[in-house]
Amino acid sequence: MTEYTLGVLKGDGIGPEIVNATISVIEAAAREVDLNLKLKELSIGWEAIEKYEDPIPQVTKDSLEETHGWILGPHDSAAYPDRFKQKRNPSGELRHYFDLYANIRPAKTMPATKSVVGEADLVIYRENTEGFYTDRNMYAGIGEFQITSDVAVSTGVFTRKAIERIAHAAFQGALERKKKVTIVHKANVIKLGTGLFLNTCLEVAKQYPDVEVDDYHIDAMTAHLVRRAGDFDVIVTENMFGDILSDLTGELVGSLGIAPSINSNDTQAMAQAAHGSAPDIAGKNIANPVGILDSTIMLFKWLYTQHEDVKWKDASQLMEKALIETLAAGISTRDLGGQSSTEEFAQAVKERIVKSEK
């Protein structure tokens, strides 16, 4: 029986609580499908600063090299000591270090959530390594310059290689869904940079003749999503636009606090909820674990496609079904209008995993 290893980075604030809740669900699902899974806890954030004087130490990155993927809890980099402010934050560093070029962020209406756009089920493929995110678009250094005290320049980078691979990821994802891809850009103004993004995506589209393709400017797209999010399926866009759109769609279908995502390259993936560390409620056992749990479900599905081991698929389906049934039963944390604690919600999901197999 193949043994798989998942890294576990609990992070800051509510991170340990929601990750621990997720681990309890993972372990229940793995037992039910006989998935030989080893969970390896590694230091990140404040814990790593205290232990290694670095929020994302090399020892953690070296250990992640030996895993099949990992779960990343939220970090509170804004509160880190000033000496770390010029470095990439932990999630940015992991994306850069492991070249996790695809940030895949679904937005789907779920039970017990207050969608403001009715039924919607879409997924954003965000290019994750360049664009206007200057902490990760350079080989060395940071792509920003302060020319004078009154003049700053931020460099955006767009390369055919990066655009092609996120485009292929999006079109391949579309083949498993409704076979429709929407390209989001600003080629009417940022003609060379996002123009290259648009044109390269259109070139890749020719290799997927069964997929319907359209495109929108970023500003128009925000309006279309508010008005008719249910009409869209797969959206592919550059780094900054993808970050903005995925926050928007997460809130539109219910709450950014439950929005999931994975970051992947061709061999590894990282589960990461879209929300932050919420230090104001840390330690109170009231944080909502849905975002990181749903991200982990995505990770398991991704691992199934990578390793073709049906146990990953079975475990992901068990967790997803149990999560939906729990929410549909009116069990949720306070942010969704329920009364359950973090631990109680996770326990309710676990109970449905076991019952589903009886």
Percent of the chain with pLDDT over 90: 90
Secondary structure, 3-state, 98-162: CCCCEEEEEEECCCCCCCCCCCCEEEEEEECCCECCCCCCCCCCCCEEEEECCEEEECCECCHHH
pLDDT band per the 50, 70, 90 thresholds, residue 189: very high
Residue 119 CA: distances (Å) to CA of 108, 253, 295, 332 = 8, 8, 20, 20
Q: What is the mean pLDDT of residues 164-192?
A: 97
Mapped onto helix, strand or coil, the DSSP state of residue 263 is strand
Q: Which of the four pLDDT bands, split at 50, 70 and 90, describes residue 357? A: low
What is the spatial distance between Cα 173 and Cα 192, in angstroms, rounded to a whole number?
27
Q: Per-residue pLDDT tens for 110-165?
A: 988 889 999 999 999 999 999 998 877 888 888 889 999 999 999 999 999 999 99
pLDDT for residue 356 is more than 80: no
For residues 84-96, average pLDDT: 89
pTM surpassing 0.85?
A: yes
Other Cβ atoms within 10 Å of 18 Cβ, number: 30
Residue 90 banded pLDDT, cuts 50, 70, 90: very high
> In this structure, are residues 336 and 14 in contact, taking their beta carbons and an 8 Å threshold?
no
Mean pLDDT of 22-47: 96
Does 358 have pLDDT greater than 80?
no
Is pLDDT above 90 for 339?
yes
Confidence of residue 27 (pLDDT cuts 50, 70, 90): very high
- CA pair distance 112, 95, nearest whole angstrom: 32
User: What average pLDDT does range 170-177 have in this prediction?
Assistant: 97
| Res 143: pLDDT | 86
Mean pLDDT along residues 26-45: 96
Q: Which long-range contacts (CB under 8 A, 24 or more apart) does 341-345 make?
A: 341/285, 341/286, 342/17, 342/18, 342/21, 342/285, 342/286, 342/287, 342/288, 342/289, 343/21, 343/285, 345/21, 345/288, 345/289, 345/290
pLDDT, tens only, 200-257: 999 999 999 999 999 999 999 999 999 999 999 999 999 999 999 999 999 999 988 8
pLDDT at residue 141 in the model: 81
Q: 113: which residues sit within 8 A by CB, 6+ positions away?
A: 253, 254, 255, 258, 327, 336
For residue range 63-80, list pLDDT tens digits in order: 999 999 999 999 999 999
What pairs with residue 216 in β-bridges? 184
- In single-letter form, the type of residue at position 345 comes to F
Note whether 94 and 62 are within 8 A (CB): no
3-state secondary structure of 236: strand
DSSP category for residue 267: S
The one-character DSSP state at 72 is E
Query: Residue 319 — pLDDT band, cuts 50, 70, 90?
Result: very high
Average pLDDT, the chain: 95
Q: Report d(CA 236, CA 239) in Å as an integer.
A: 10
For residue 167 the two structure tokens come to 């485009």
